Amino acid sequence: MSEKVIITGGSGRLGRAVVAGFAAAGHDVVSLDRGLPEEPVPGVDYRSIDLMNAEATHVAFKEISPQAVVSLAAMAVPFMAPEEVLLQTNATIAHNVTSAAVESGATRVVLASSPSIMGYGSPGGWVPEKLPLDENETPRPWHAYGLSKYVAEQIAAMFAAKMGPRSPVKFASFRPCFVIAEEEWDGAPTQQGHTVAERLQDPKLSAPALFNYVDARDVADFLLLLLERFDRVENGAVFFVGAKDAMATRPLSEIIPEIYPELASLATGLTGDSPAFSIEKAREVIGWEPKRSWRSELKAKV
pLDDT of residue 254: 98
DSSP letters, 85-113, are HHHHHHHHHHHHHHHHHHHTT-SEEEEE-
What is the CB neighbour count within 10 angstroms for residue 121?
16
Determine what percent of the chain is predicted with pLDDT higher than 70: 100
Residue 291 host element (H or E): none
The model's confidence at residue 104, banded by pLDDT at 50, 70 and 90, is very high
What pLDDT score does 1 carry? 80
172-219 pLDDT tens trace = 999 999 999 999 999 999 988 999 999 999 999 999 999 999 999 999
Contact 132, 274 (CB under 8 A): yes
Phi/psi at 218 (5° precision): -70, -35
Q: What is the pLDDT of residues 5-33, one digit of tens each?
A: 999 999 999 999 999 999 999 999 999 99
